[in-house]
Structure 1
Amino acid sequence: MSPDDMLSKLQPTSIQISAIQELRENKRQSDYFNHLSAISESIPALGWVTINQDPSHYVKEMNDAGQFYSNRVLKEWKEINKVHVDWVKAWVETLSDLQNYVQNYYSTALKKVIPEMQTYKCATLRFGSVTVKETYHSPDDTIVNALPSLEKSPKFSKDGKKWIVEYQTGVPDLMIDNVDLSDIVYMFKCQSTNLVIKGKLNSVILDSCCNSSIMFDSILTSIEFINCQSVHM
């Protein structure tokens, strides 16, 4: 299948994914914002077809990305209405079933067909007890770059124990102060931005960031770089 054919087939899915993410952004005051966020964070799993190697692992990562909000749904609703608990279970199981399907029918075949592909890397380095993990998924650039995307507004906020830093561009002195050991910092699609974290926190994730840096006093568990380019710590 040519890239143009693939793009044509993926475009309807891409449009729906964008619509889901836009709905979530427009419903921040909704009682069901955590539900919408759980789906919005994990629905990119449908893009597994653009991942050259080990696409089932990509599905798992997207499932994991949504579980922060899934757990908030469970915490908020488990004593109020069991329907919401069942909803979380059904959604997580759906993604788990997708992961198993991809692993059983596509991952092994892909490894046989394209063993020479070396663009996927997952290197783990250790600094004391802290794990630094770098992950890069290699989609078909022709397809991914042509997919429609939404213009996003910069975000800098805290949701529970999760600091969210998204779509920041050209910010040289962004700072998070007074973190604690249970805090997580998630930095997504930031460009030419420097983030300083004061205090000791649990973990840090940089996802799809470019020409950016992060500094912190101390970290408890791990810092992870996903699909980043020219980032510094």
Structure 2
Amino acid sequence: LKAGKMSDVLDVYDAEVKANASALYDICEKINPFLADMACLAEKGFCMLKDCIEKGLDLEKPNEEAVARHLFHIFHLMDSFRHVKRRAICNQYFNHVCAIMDSLPALTWMSVESNPVAFIQDIIEIAKFYTDRILKEFSQKEDALHVQFVEQWLKTLESLKAFVQKYYANGFTWKKVLPGLSNCDTTDFEVFDIPLPPPPPPPVSLSSKCKKSVEDIRQELFAQINKGLDITKGLKKVTPDMQVHKNPSLRTATPVCKPAVAAKPAHLTKNLPSAKKDTTKPPVLTCDDKKWLIENHVDNKDIKIEITDMKQVMYIYRCENCVIVVKGKLNSIALDSCKKTSLLFDNIVSSLEIINCQKMQIQTMGTMPTLVLQKTDGCMVYLSKEALNCEVITSKTSEINLLIPTEDGEFEERCVPEQFKTVWSGTALKTTPSEIA
């Protein structure tokens, strides 16, 4: 390409490809700052591609290794995205990140010798796998920004494909030879001046002793085996003066000591931070809208809550050796990771959930339709007469006891089975509590 045509190619790239990548950033900035950062990195990738095209138009076609060095910054950007993708696996915009990250290989089309357009089209199909997920996830939320994100990113990739189709349908056109660089010297070609790793160490020369053939070694081995008992004749004889039980002076000899271990430098041992950090969090007792939060209380025997709306729910987390009293009717209560904590409440509309707790005491003064216990060891549940029809659901639990009220005002203790027996009836599995449970 001549200088004028070269400038035209780069201008078309800026107007049709790079501009679309910039527009994607504007949309992502309205959705979420994290997603805007991802779009910014993608835009940098398109800028890197323009730089590679501009430099490549002045270079003779290099070999595969030199092409990889030519596109080094793009490959490095793709590696950075892979790390972000692993960290964002639980992020609500994970599909957005995948749609961008898994499309970045399209920026390496210069390394495809023939039909780079088909290569880019394959990448677009991969991107559509994630963009379809985005449309499905956010279609019901009526959020137009996510639809715009999908349309703009696919438009960016399509514009890149159209650009390559127009100018480099049969592969990138490398141009002239660099001064002093012949065809056989292209392995030394570097665009970004990236230092290559040092060459491997020279092979270790084998000594003359190690140059024996396998057959010679095998013959020497069999020769030693054939000696039989005579093979011990080469051993040095142990005389009486070398034996401890016949030479008492050996017992008083100074034992061979292990070499002293050098002390660590002072800068490695002085003022080392403690390995364990104090992870204690401040206690929380608050009501956010319709959700009560009770967290991180220790040795607090006077936690009292007045419920004003039966739609309220309560979440109790990491409380130890506490007493919690709830007055009024609420929707549900959940206890998570608590230990040695007592809970007394009036009425529950839905359910009480106890998860990952130890040595708990629960008492209901009114209704409790459902009781769910998961990963809990040790729980005493005092039922009221109104809660006798409660459904108890357990999984991975032990030492769960229900206390049933009697006519004389006392409680009768019943254990929830921990072991079960399962048999095949011919048509289905039947599970019953084990008799020893």
Shorter-chain TM range is: 0.3 to 0.5
- For normalisation by structure 1, the TM-score amounts to 0.45
User: Which has the larger share of strand?
Assistant: 1
Q: What's the TM-score once normalised by structure 2's chain length?
A: 0.25
Higher Cα Rg: structure 1 or 2?
2
More relative contact order in 1 or in 2 (CA 8 Å, sep 6+)?
1
